[in-house]
Structure 1
Amino acid sequence: MASYHVLNIVDDLLRDVCMDPRPFGGKCILLGGDVKQLLPVASGRVEQIELFFTNYRFWRVFQVVHLMTHMRVNAGGEDFTRWLEDLGRGTTNTQIVKDKDTKDGDFVNLPDRCLTVDVVREIYGQLHALTPQQLAQRAILCPKNEHCNLLNDKILESFPGKTFVIHSNDSVASGDEDEVANFPEEYLNRITPSGMPHHKLKLKVGVPVILLRNLCLEDGLINGTRLLVLAVTDMLITAEIVTGRFCGRRVLIPRMDLTSSDQNLPFVLKRRQFPLKLCFALTINKAQGQTFERVGIYLASPVFSHGQLYVAFSRARSWNSVKVEVVKTKHQGYLLKSSKKVFTKNIVFGNILNSIQNE
C-alpha cells in the first residue's frame, strides 16, 4: 500500500547520507508485498495506479522474486489456496453479470460451503462461553466503516458485563475564533472522520479493541495492534496485547489529543479520546496483514477497491474457518434468473498484476 513517493524519498535520503549517486546510495533494498492485495489509498482508480510502487523512477533496477508457498493456509488446504490465488487474479468462478450501475461486470460466484445467513452467530456464537484467546482469534470483516459500527454495537449489547461510556472533548484545531464558532461542539460530536475514535466510546471489560495510533514501538503499541480490555477508568485503559511478538503484554492506554487528516472536511478536528475502537468487526483494509482462526465477511454492499475481497478471504486458514453473509441487493446476491448461485463484486486491476508478472 506504500506510494512510490516513499521510495523516491528514501532514495534521495540514502544518496545524500551515503554520498553515492547510485539508486538508494548503493544499498540493498528489499520490498515485500502482494500485488493482489490493497493498493495505496487514493480518491480513484487512476490515482491508485499512479501511486503504485512500480512507478518509482528506478524500478527497473529491482529484481522480482516470486514466493511460491502459502504460509498462512493449514496443511491440506491446497484447494483453498488455489481458489484464493484465482480470486486474487480475478479468474475464479467469474461470470459476466450485467450491472447498469458499474462500468464492468466481473462478479465472483461464492461457494455454498462458505455462505451463511447470520455471520455474527457463526463467528461468535455464545459470547459468554468464549475465552479471551478465542475472542482474539475471531473477527468479522466489512468493506465499510458504517457496517462495522453497526455490527460492533450489536455484538457489544450481547457481551456480558457493565458498559462504560467515555465521551470525547471535541474542538476545531484553529486559532481563528470565527472558524471555531462556525462549528459548534454538538456538530463535531456527530462526525467521525476516517481513522478517528468515536465521540461516544462504549467498552466492556473483556472486549477486543484495535489501536488507531502509533503510541510506543518498544511496547508493541502501533496502529493496528489488537488488544483485550482489562480495566477502564476516565484517564487510562488497561489492556492486554493479543497480536504479534508482544502478545500477552499488559499495557496502559491514555486519553490523548488526536487530529483528523480528512481532506473532505473544511477544518481540522481535534478530539481528546482514547485511540481505540471496538474490533468485533473491522474494515477489510484495517485487517490486512493479520491472521484469524475464524473469519466472518459481512457484505452489506460489494467491495469497492482492488484486492479487497482477496484480502478478506486470505485472512483465514481454510474453508472451514471462513463464513460469508451476503446481503441481497440489485448489485449482489441472486443476479442470474433461475439460478441460486450467490454473486458479489470482485475488483481486480489486471494492469497492476501484469506490471509484476511481466518482470
Structure 2
Amino acid sequence: MAKLIRCATVIIWDEATMTNRYAFEALNQTLIDITGVDYPFGGKIMVFGGDFRQVLPVVPKGTKAETITASIVKSPLWSHIQIIRLKQNMRSINDQRFGEFLLFVGDGVQPTIIDEMIKIPTSMAIPWNGEESIVRLLEEIYPNIKNHSSDTEYMVSRA
C-alpha cells in the first residue's frame, strides 16, 4: 500500500466535509511518514469534495462547538487548502426546478414546516397511497427491474 501511495499523484476524498479533522491530520502525518516529504499530505495533491451546507462531522453526544471544532476548517491544514467552487450541479442539469430547490435547501432559504422539516414540492413527491406508493417509487427508480435484477451496472447507476 505504501508503494502505491508513493506512486500516486492525486488522492481524492469525497464527502470530506463530513469527516473529523483529526482523520485529515492523521492522514497528513501518515503521508509525510510514507513519502519522506515534509509538505502537507506528503506533497500529494489532495482533492476534497463536499458541501459544508450539508452534514458536518458527527461528534457523539457533542455540543455545537465540539462539532465545529471537529470540522476541517479548524485544522491547521486548512490554511493550505485552495477552495474551488463548482458552478453547476450535474445531477440537476436537466431539471432546473430541482436544481433551484437544492440551492434553496443548501442556502437555508427553503420554507420549513413543523420542527424545521422541509416540505418537498408536490412535483417531486409521490402521494402516499399505502403500499401502492412504494411500488410506484420503486418503478420510478428501477424501471423494468425484473429484466435487470442481476445487472449490477443497472442497479449501481440508480443507487
TM-score normalised to structure 1 length: 0.32
Determine the structure 2 residue equivalent to 1:116.
127
Partners of 2:80 and 2:137 in 1: CA distance: 54
Alignment deviations for residues 74-122 of structure 1 (CA, whole Å, 9 cap, x no partner)? 52x1121011111122111247x6x6xxxxxx45344333362237423
Which of residues 49, 74, 99 is equivalent to 1:55? 74
CA drift of 1:126 comes to 10
Query: Number of matched residues?
Result: 136
Shift of residue 48, structure 1, vs aligned partner: 3.1
2:42 match: 25
Unaligned residue ranges in structure 1 (runs of 5+): 100-105, 137-205, 207-227, 229-239, 250-289, 294-359
Structure 1 pair 119–33 and aligned structure 2 pair: CA distance change class (3 A): farther
Identity %: 24
Contact 2:32/2:38 (<8 A) preserved: yes
Q: Report which structure shows greater RCO (CA 8 Å, sep ≥6).
A: 1
**TM-aligned CA distance change 1:126 to 1:26, over 3 Å:** closer
The structure where helix makes up a greater share of residues is 2
- The AA in structure 2 aligned to 1:58 is L
Q: Distance in 2 between matches of 1:72 and 1:94?
A: 23
Say yes or no: does 1:134 pair with 2:153: no
**RMSD across aligned C-alpha pairs, in angstroms?**
3.5
Matches within 5 A, 1:296-335: none
Trace 1:1-359 onto structure 2 (pairs within 5 A): 1-43=18-60, 44-46=62-64, 47-73=66-92, 75=94, 77-94=95-112, 106-113=116-123, 114=125, 116-118=127-129, 120-125=131-136, 133-134=142-143, 240=150, 242=152, 247=153, 292=158
- Structure 2: distance between partners of 1:126 and 1:69: 27
Cα distance 1:241–1:115, how it changes in 2: closer, same or farther (>3 A)? closer
Structure (1/2) with the larger strand percentage: 1
Distance 1:64 1:135, change over 3 A: farther
The C-alpha deviation readout for 1:111-152, integer Å capped at 9, x for no partner, is 33336223742341498xx6xx5376xxxxxxxxxxxxxxxx
Q: Provide the rounded CA distance (Å) in 2 between the counterparts of 1:241 and 1:40.
A: 34
**Distance (whole Å) between structure 1 residues aligned to residue 137 and residue 118 of structure 2:** 32
TM-score (norm 2): 0.65
